[in-house]
Amino acid sequence: MSDRRIAIFGLGYVGLPLIRACLAAGHDVIGFDVSRDVVTRLLSGQSHVDDVSDAEVKSWQERGFQATSRTRDLVDVDVYVICVPTPLAADSSPDLGAVIAATTDIAGHLDLARRPLVILESTTYPGTTEEIVKPILETSGGVAGVDFALAFSPERIDPGNKVWSFENTPKVVGGLTESCADQAAAFYSTITSEVVRTKGLKEAEMAKLLENTYRHVNIALVNELAKISDLLGIDIWDVIAAAETKPYGFQAFRPGPGVGGHCIPIDPNYLGHRVRTELGQSVRFIELAQEINASMPEYVVDRVEHLLGSHEVPLAGAEVLLLGVTYKPNIADLRESPSYDVVRGLRARGASVVFHDSYVDSWLVDGTEVAKATDLRAAAAHASCTVLLQSHDEYLQADALVDSTLLLDTQGRLRSARGLNGTRWTTM
């Protein structure tokens, strides 16, 4: 199944690594995105995604890669893969607008004579592929499972991960029918090292939600234990280091300023919504995890106030320097970053906020620009308190922060630096 024509819908964090893998396998690839800006940038050889370089994008053109915002360019397509966003609506319910729009575009162009395959990769609640995507595709006049194949395959991209990439991470696949699953598995086996088949569509959809809910819940557990340990005078980082020596039955999660990104703060809501609307029940673990993780930015502000207070500096009027405001280290993605709520909390208590982040050029919080520091050492020396939110590599270099007077390390990464002693430099 190589050299098929593949159309990838949604050219973002998920779509671009998929394009790379398809081109490497010898497929002919066309990328479709509603954003003309995204398409124009790709066509001029620019990547807007951390894990894909400009040089790679430039080399794609030599291999025939096309990008477009015009549905009429979608001709002779054998496989459609949908990687569009699945955000939350204002009331925190699933917003499937992009999935519906992409599916409608595909339905209008399905070339049934080619017996095409359509795969949804966007994270969503169990039932979406069969209840939402299938009926829209069938407006083409074709019958799913007969005239075209339909499958769901959750994406497992982890931006910034240097070990696990699209190519070497097992790919879960569920089909509407056995034959749909066979066709989707055959496609993915051309671009990934291992394909794992589920019983059906819902199992594949649910597998992704289990993975993300598992992280959400375990991060919340360790965040709650971090707060409790601080009150009890116990060093949570020492506890985790000891516990993770157990060779079985334990996986270490670490405290932090809260959860961010496109997945963990959002996806469990999709499951919660489905369970509420279908069963009239709540998923109590999800609700609790949300409550605890959402409380972490305010907890960071409490700890800053406490650290300053113990050195007789009031938070109101103090300058607080935030280091690393993206949602995880060494990437440029600000989506759902807990740093936004840290800024809100600090502003509400009268502090002035400055940030440093080499991945972020400028940063608006609630319409007001946060001042950006470019000279890290000078900014650290000037601030009343420095807060390490995301441990980008540059902050871990010896001497990077030596001039900070008071410092709160929310990630436990500077513990060995400069004799972190719990009075001037402290961890959460």
| Residue 101 Cβ vs ligand NAD, minimum distance, rounded to whole Å | 4
Per rule CB under 6 A, is residue 122 in the interface with ligand NAD?
yes
| Residue 169 Cβ vs ligand NAD, minimum distance, rounded to whole Å | 11
Q: Is 83 a catalytic residue?
A: no
| Residue 105 Cβ vs ligand NAD, minimum distance, rounded to whole Å | 6
Q: Rounded distance, CA 28 to CA 64, Å?
A: 7
Per CB under 6 A, the segment of 10-18, 58-66, 184-192, 317-325 that binds ligand NAD is 10-18
**Helix, strand, or coil (residue 273):** helix
Per rule CB under 6 A, is residue 205 in the interface with ligand NAD?
no
Binding mask 358-397 for ligand NAD (x = CB under 6 A): ----------------------------------------
Strands 425-427 and 66-68: unpaired
Per rule CB under 6 A, is residue 120 in the interface with ligand NAD?
no
Q: Which is nearer to ligand NAD, 164 or 250 (CB)?
A: 164
Of 81, 96, 240, the residue nearest 171 (C-alpha): 81
Helices H, strands E: what count in the chain?
A: 13, 16
Site for ligand NAD in 206-265 (CB under 6 A): 262-263
Q: Rounded distance, CA 285 to CA 214, Å?
A: 10
Q: Which two tokens stand for residue 272?
A: 């919660």
Q: Which is nearer to ligand NAD, 85 or 329 (CB)?
A: 85
Strands 117-120 and 79-82: parallel
Report the DSSP beta bridge partners of residue 211: none
Q: Which is nearer to ligand NAD, 208 or 356 (CB)?
A: 208
Q: Rounded distance, CA 87 to CA 131, Å?
A: 18
Per rule CB under 6 A, is residue 34 in the interface with ligand NAD?
yes
| Residue 191 Cβ vs ligand NAD, minimum distance, rounded to whole Å | 16
Tell me, by CB under 6 A, how many residues bind ligand NAD.
Answer: 26
Of 383, 244, 241, 389, the residue nearest 327 (C-alpha): 389
Per CB under 6 A, the segment of 3-11, 250-258, 339-347, 406-414 that binds ligand NAD is 3-11
CA diameter of the chain: 76
Q: Of 23, 77, 98, 107, which one interacts with ligand NAD (CB under 6 A)?
A: 98
The residue written with tokens 């053109």 in the block is 61
| Residue 158 Cβ vs ligand NAD, minimum distance, rounded to whole Å | 6
Site for ligand NAD in 38-57 (CB under 6 A): 38
Q: Which is nearer to ligand NAD, 124 or 410 (CB)?
A: 124
Going from the C-alpha of 371 to that of each of 201, 207, 356, 408, the distances in angstroms are 47, 41, 9, 20
For residue 25, count other CB atoms closer than 10 A to its CB.
19
| From 22, 83, 180, 263, the catalytic residue | 263
| Residue 11 Cβ vs ligand NAD, minimum distance, rounded to whole Å | 5
Per CB under 6 A, the segment of 83-91, 108-116, 320-328, 360-368 that binds ligand NAD is 83-91
Residue nearest to ligand NAD (CB): 12
Contact at 8 Å (CB) between 187 and 119? Answer: yes
Q: Which is nearer to ligand NAD, 101 or 381 (CB)?
A: 101
In 10-111 the beta strands, taken as DSSP E runs, fall at 28-32, 66-68, 79-82
Strands 368-369 and 364-365: antiparallel
Per rule CB under 6 A, is residue 85 in the interface with ligand NAD?
yes
Task: Give the N- to C-terminal CA distance of the chain in Å, as an integer.
Answer: 52
Contact at 8 Å (CB) between 329 and 393? Answer: yes
Q: Which two tokens stand for residue 131?
A: 């209840």
Helix (H) or strand (E) run with residue 174 in it: strand 171-175
Per rule CB under 6 A, is residue 172 in the interface with ligand NAD?
no
Q: Which is nearer to ligand NAD, 9 or 395 (CB)?
A: 9
CA-atom Rg of the chain in angstroms = 24
Per rule CB under 6 A, is residue 329 in the interface with ligand NAD?
no
| Residue 164 Cβ vs ligand NAD, minimum distance, rounded to whole Å | 12
- Residues within the interface to ligand NAD (CB under 6 A): 9-15, 32-35, 38, 83-86, 98, 101-102, 122-123, 155, 157, 159, 262-263
User: Which positions are annotated as active-site residues?
Assistant: 263
